[in-house]
Amino acid sequence: MTTDATPSLRTRFRRSLLGRLVRDATGATGVTFVALIVILALFAPWIAPYEPQEIDVLQRLAGPSADHWMGTDQLGRDTFSRLVHGARLALLVALPSVLLGALLGMVLGLLAGYYRGWVETVLLWLFDVVRSFPALLFAIAIITLTGPSLTVLILIMALTRFPSYGRLIRAQTLKMREEEYVTASQALGASSNRTMGRHILPNAVAPLFIQAAMDIPVVVTFEAGLSFLGLGVPPPTPSWGTILREGYTYVRATPWMIVFGSGFLVVATLGFTFFAEALRDLFDVKVRNDDAA
């Protein structure tokens, strides 16, 4: 029974989305790194040996040891614990902002591609106006006016990302609206909302998922950059960018905050980038055809 069942389970896994993602080194590395970051974020209170704000002045700027695996900062706080909780903050900023930006861009792009005319003109103008602002300068201006907070960061990230999603969905909609099944749906008297929701959107949304996955490391890095400049989530909330800024200040006394902080950021960036590349190769018809040939 076991011998017969094992090939069946193995075959099911290979045919599953996860099995197809981990077939090559890029996909396997991406899935592994992403899973590591997600596990750290979800189970941070149990993985971190100390509270991220716990101060021990007697251990300030200590190097790696059995008690503090990645050393401590200028206040004696455990660097590993702060980096683990920083993973939670990175995902709390990246995932909602990418999701919000993708939803907004999806709706506006669908309307622009389906209705055309003045609706398309206005929405394309909106996309171009938003994209014309440098993202960093836009973020600095908004945070200067409102003050740094998690909500402000999420809204800024979403507003700077949605035009690319909108243009992507518009291009997909323009192709889909000329298909025979869409024409048949319109001929049968289906409403515009039903046609867009039932026939166009399901066939146009796959590239959006790939683009959203590719944007997650961009948002993670952007948030770290703002925190490095002191414009991210206010202290004492641990952020990778804040840890890097503090490490840069005390780099001559202890380089460990820079070394390990950069390592966490590199793992997250590479993980989501490789994961997105594997998704693109998986869903890209041209790539699949080239591999098959």
Q: 290: burial class by Cβ within 10 Å (0-12, 13-18, 19+)?
A: exposed
- Residue pLDDT, tens place only, 104-148: 999 999 888 888 788 889 999 999 888 888 888 888 888 888 888
State the average pLDDT over residues 279-284. 75
Mean of the per-residue pLDDT values for the chain? 83
> What per-residue confidence (pLDDT) applies to 287?
40
> What per-residue confidence (pLDDT) applies to 289?
44
Instruction: In the chain, count H helices and then E strands.
Output: 15, 0
Torsion of CA 153, 156, 157, 158, to 10 degrees: 120
State the average pLDDT over residues 203-229. 88
Q: What is the CATH number of domain 29-282?
A: 1.10.3720.10
> What per-residue confidence (pLDDT) applies to 12?
64
177/277 Cα distance (integer angstroms): 28
56/147 Cα distance (integer angstroms): 30
Q: Residue 284 — very low, low, confident or very high, per pLDDT cuts 50/70/90?
A: low
CB atoms within 10 A of CB 44: 19
Residue for token digits 């039932």? 198
3-state secondary structure of 78: strand
Q: Residue 11 — very low, low, confident or very high, per pLDDT cuts 50/70/90?
A: low
> What per-residue confidence (pLDDT) applies to 35?
92
* Domain boundaries of the chain, sorted by first residue: 29-282
Q: What phi and psi values does residue 179 have, to the nearest 5 degrees?
A: -70, 155
Q: Residue 188 — very low, low, confident or very high, per pLDDT cuts 50/70/90?
A: low
Distances in Å between the Cα of 147 and the Cα atoms of 114, 227, 232 are: 39, 13, 9
53/196 Cα distance (integer angstroms): 49
> What per-residue confidence (pLDDT) applies to 240?
92
> pTM here?
0.83
Residue for token digits 């202890």? 254
Which among 274, 208, 218, 224 is positioned nearest to 34, based on CA atoms? 274
> What per-residue confidence (pLDDT) applies to 138?
87
Token pair belonging to 147: 């003050």
Of the listed ranges 79-88, 188-197, 198-207, the least confidently predicted one is 188-197
Token pair belonging to 228: 């490095």
> What per-residue confidence (pLDDT) applies to 13?
54
